[in-house]
Chains A and B, each alone.
Chain A
Amino acid sequence: MRLRDIAMKNIIRRKGKMALIIIGLAVGIATLVSIITVMLAFQKNIDQQLSTYGFNIVIYPASSNLSLNYGGMSISGVDAYEVKSLSMDDLEKIRSLQIASKIMAISPKLLQPADIKGEQALLIGTDFKQEFSVKKWWRLASGKKPSSPKEVIVGADAAKKLKLNAGDFVELNGQKFAVSGVLQSAGSQDDNLIFCDLKQVQSLYGRGKELSLIEVTARDSGDTDLVVKALEKALPQASVSSIKQAVKFKEKAMSSLIRFGLTVSAIVIIISGFVVLTTMSLAVIDRKREIGIFRAIGYRQSTIFKIILIEALILSLIGGIAGYASGFGLIYTVPILFKKVNLVVKPNIFVLALSVGMSVLVGLISSLLPAKKAASMDPADALKSL
């Protein structure tokens, strides 16, 4: 038999009071775990959303007239044929950067106003392969992906305006191109564009190696700022910005939610601490007689202190694990019960460790005072009640 056996047996004997301590701690920890789990799930969600934005960094000339709004950003030089500051050579500069490994895709683009069937339309020269690989949400309403440079894809709104269907032909600067497919509406700028092979647009309109913009995708949304900085340094004549406005707004909304959640957790955990403090204090008073016996038969004050803290440690370990299980379980069931909630809830060893650590910390700190009180009980006083 060791001190921990005495502690354990006492816990088993006083199940009611001890359960109260475990529940008190578990409620606090469950609140914390719920908040953190939701936060992590949202972060995952935001990362996913960010990846559906496709190219999350746009490089465009900094020193021209501004005329086109693309993805919430103004793209210069479209109307005035003045795109001078970006060219195919810049692509090589990007590919040779040290942070090139952090870049998933690079898509050069050339914007070109075009006259199609007597209507003004915006033509965009691009690399279809890159475009389809990054814009995973692209769905064709009709037709198929282009298989030759002489084919174009038309955005949903542009197709409606120009009355184009898959299989039709369009004339671009006197040359015939087949419409290989029409995109489904995505509610983005892509709906108004006609997508054509980059080199075709460059040569058709005599734009040489010119580019209107270069879109870049960082592998990890966390690296976006790093990649932006490196690109700004490598291309001083260009402006580099990340398409993060919408995401940033969400992050801001989420961070106030998290702050609120963490404040609530902190309050609940403080209350848990008080539950432990009062229950432990009552348990110590209950055990006055027993502590008197321990002291009389030669247990030091420090030994009594140790017994109470071992009890607190056992209870808070259980409380921490129970709190994690219930907090995680609660959030885990949310997407199951409410199908509309799109949350990816995954168990996290870090959150488990944090829960148990926090529970032990709160349990031990709250038990210090009762343990001290127990240790300093005068054995003669304790035995007077015998």
Chain B
Amino acid sequence: MSLVLADGLVKYFGADETTRVHALDGVSFKVNRGEYVAVMGPSGSGKSTLLTILGAMNPPSSGKLVIDDIDVYSLSQEKRADFRREYLGFVFQQLQLIPYLTALENVMLPLVVTSRKDKKELAASTLERLGLGSKLNRLPSELSGGEQSRVAIARAIVNSPPIILADEPIGSLDSKTGEEVLSVFKQLHDEGQTIIMVTHNPDSVKDADRLIQLKDGKMVANEKVKGQIVLAF
């Protein structure tokens, strides 16, 4: 049984059929539990639109998104917020840490709106797991690029969501730091974490199980990653 089922996802802008712009045009795929899936495509291929739809933040014009047997877009706005909190961990492009909160507080953010009592301990142990135990009280501006990435990943995994959605997580990093971050994703995957990563960088794909390629809103490839990647666009 797959964890994620994207069925005929369409997203267009504009009401008039003749001038309508399709950002996503009938994309269907499945993601199994524990799978590491990379989504690639050139600019304007619909990667970001797909990610926001998978992220329960952008209802498709048509098609269905089922995660863990839940028809995501049949939920109300507020229920979808709860769903995101419970099911999804986001690692954004440029990390998007809150600059006035410390590393620990940034990681605690998803827990603040839960009734958990061990918020602080859980956030601290997650940061420790990612090697940041000594920098809990540093502001993002006091951390290196790699450390900031790890804080962002810690925030995404702190409440153990079944799926991590990552948007160009190494886009803004130098190659050494990028490697470091990819190794964290690999480690999480090895521990059984389901990951969907949007990227335009072929280097990011090497650890993925499967690669979905998009072009002009259409899925042009969906295949297992074996050695050399063949770009379909």
- Interface 0/1 of B9-51, CB less than 8 Å to A: 0000000000000000000000000000000000000001000
Which one of B77, B90, B100 contacts A296 once the chains associate, using CB atoms below 8 Å?
B90
Are A297 and B82 in contact, with the CB atoms below 8 A?
Answer: no
CA distance A10 to B110 in the complex (A): 17
Interface size class of chain A, counting residues whose CB lies under 8 Å from the partner chain:
20 to 34
B81, B99, B167: the one contacting A295 at CB < 8 Å is: B81
Are B100 and A10 in contact, with the CB atoms below 8 A? yes
> What are 21 A-B residue pairs whose CB atoms fall within 8 Å in the complex?
A1-B105, A9-B100, A12-B100, A290-B98, A293-B96, A293-B98, A295-B81, A297-B89, A297-B109, A298-B82, A298-B84, A298-B86, A298-B88, A298-B110, A300-B78, A300-B82, A303-B81, A380-B55, A383-B52, A383-B57, A386-B96
Given A1-B108, A293-B98, the answer on whether A300 and B113 have CB atoms closer than 8 Å is yes
Q: Say whether A6 faces chain B, with CB atoms less than 8 Å apart.
A: yes
> Nearest chain B CB to A41's CB is how many angstroms away?
44
Interface residues of A in 364-386 (CB under 8 A from B): 378-380, 383-384, 386
Which residue of chain A has its CB nearest to the CB of B109?
Answer: A297
Task: Find residues 101-125 in chain B having any chain A CB closer than 8 Å to their own CB.
Answer: 101, 105, 108-110, 112-113, 119-120
Residues of A within 8 A of B89 (CB): 297
Beyond A3-B112, A9-B105, A296-B84, 16 additional pairs, beta carbon < 8 A: A1-B112, A9-B100, A12-B100, A295-B57, A296-B90, A297-B85, A298-B81, A298-B82, A298-B84, A300-B82, A300-B113, A301-B77, A303-B81, A379-B57, A383-B92, A386-B93
> Chain B interface: which size bin?
20 to 34
Is B94 in contact with chain A by the CB < 8 A criterion?
yes
How far is A9 from B86 in the complex, measured between Cα atoms in Å?
A: 26
B92 contacts A386, CB within 8 Å? yes
B residues neighboring A (CB under 8 Å): 48, 52, 55, 57-58, 77-78, 81-86, 88-90, 92-94, 96, 98-101, 105, 108-110, 112-113, 119-120, 155, 167
Q: Is the CB of A301 within 8 A of B81?
A: yes
How far is it, in angstroms, between the C-alpha of A302 and the C-alpha of B58 when the chains are bound? 19
Q: How far is the CA of A386 from the CA of B168 in the complex (A)?
A: 11
CB distance from B138 to the nearest CB of A (A): 15
Query: Contact partner of B55 among A3, A290, A294, A296, CB < 8 A?
Result: A296
A-side contacts of B77, CB under 8 Å? 301
Q: Which 5 A-B pairs have the closest CB atoms?
A: A298-B85, A13-B100, A380-B58, A380-B57, A380-B52
Tell which of A5, A6, A290, A303 has the most Cβ of chain B within 10 Å. A6
Q: Is the CB of B52 within 8 A of A293?
A: no
CB-CB < 8 A to B52: which residues of A? Answer: 380, 383
Q: With A and B bound together, what is the CA distance between A151 and B96 in angstroms?
A: 96
B92 & A300 in contact (Cβ 8 Å cutoff): no
Residue of B78, B100, B155, B167 near A297 (CB, 8 A) is B155
Task: Tell me which residues across on chain A come within 8 A of B81, comparing CB atoms.
Answer: 295, 298-301, 303
Complexed CA–CA distance, A3 and B52 (Å)? 26
B11 shortest CB reach to chain A, Å: 10
Tell me if A163 counts as interface (CB < 8 A to partner B).
no
Task: Name A residues whose Cβ lies closer than 8 Å to a Cβ of B.
Answer: 1-3, 5-6, 9-10, 12-13, 289-290, 293-303, 378-380, 383-384, 386
- Taken together as a complex, chains A and B put the C-alpha atoms of A303 and B85 apart, in Å, by 13
- Checking B82, B96, B100, B109 against A289 with a beta-carbon cut-off of 8 angstroms, the contacting residue is B96
Q: In the complex, what distance in Å separates the CA atom of A301 from the CA atom of B112?
A: 15
Instruction: Tell me, in angstroms, the Cα distance from A300 to B57 when the chains sit together.
Output: 12
A299 touching B96, Cβ below 8 Å: no
Q: Considering the chains assembled together, what is the distance between the CA atoms of A12 and B98 in angstroms?
A: 14
Contacts of A299 in B (CB 8 A): 81, 85, 113
**In this complex, what residue of B is CB-closest to A290?**
B98
Query: In the complex, what distance in Å separates the CA atom of A13 from the CA atom of B105?
Result: 15
A304 to chain B, nearest CB (A): 9
Highest count of chain B CB atoms <10 Å: which of A6, A303, A380: A380
A259 to B210, CA, bound (A): 76
* B-side contacts of A1, CB under 8 Å: 105, 108, 112, 119-120
Query: B90, A297: Cβ atoms under 8 Å?
Result: yes
| Residues of chain A with a CB closer than 8 A to B57's CB | 295-296, 378-380, 383
Q: A296-B84, A298-B82 known; A386 and B101 CB under 8 Å?
A: no
A290 to B57 Cα, complex, angstroms: 15
| Bound Cα distance A303, B98 (Å) | 17
* A2 nearest CB neighbor, chain B only: B112
By a CB distance below 8 angstroms, the chain A residues around B55 are: 296, 380
* A301-B90 in contact (CB<8A): no
Contact between B112 and A386, CB atoms less than 8 A apart? no
CA distance A219 to B110 in the complex (A): 65
Per the bound structure, the CA–CA distance linking A257 and B57 in Å amounts to 57
**Which B-chain residue is minimally distant from A379 (CB atoms)?**
B57
A12 to B139, CA, bound (A): 14
Nearest-neighbor residue (CB-CB) of A13 within chain B: B100
A6 to B: closest C-beta gap in Å: 7
Residue of chain B at shortest CB distance from A298: B85
Q: Chain A nearest CB: distance from B149 CB in Å?
A: 15
Q: How far is the CA of A12 from the CA of B99 in the complex (A)?
A: 12
C-alpha spacing A380/B59, complex, angstroms: 10
Contacts of B93 in A (CB 8 A): 386
Closest residue of B by beta carbon distance from A14 = B100
Residues on the B chain within 8 Å of A9, using CB: 100-101, 105
On whether the beta carbons of B105 and A303 are closer than 8 Å, the reply is no
Given A1-B108, A296-B57, A383-B92, A301:B78 Cβ within 8 A: yes
CA distance A9 to B58 in the complex (A): 30
Question: In the complex, what residues of A have CB within 8 A of residue B108's CB?
Answer: 1
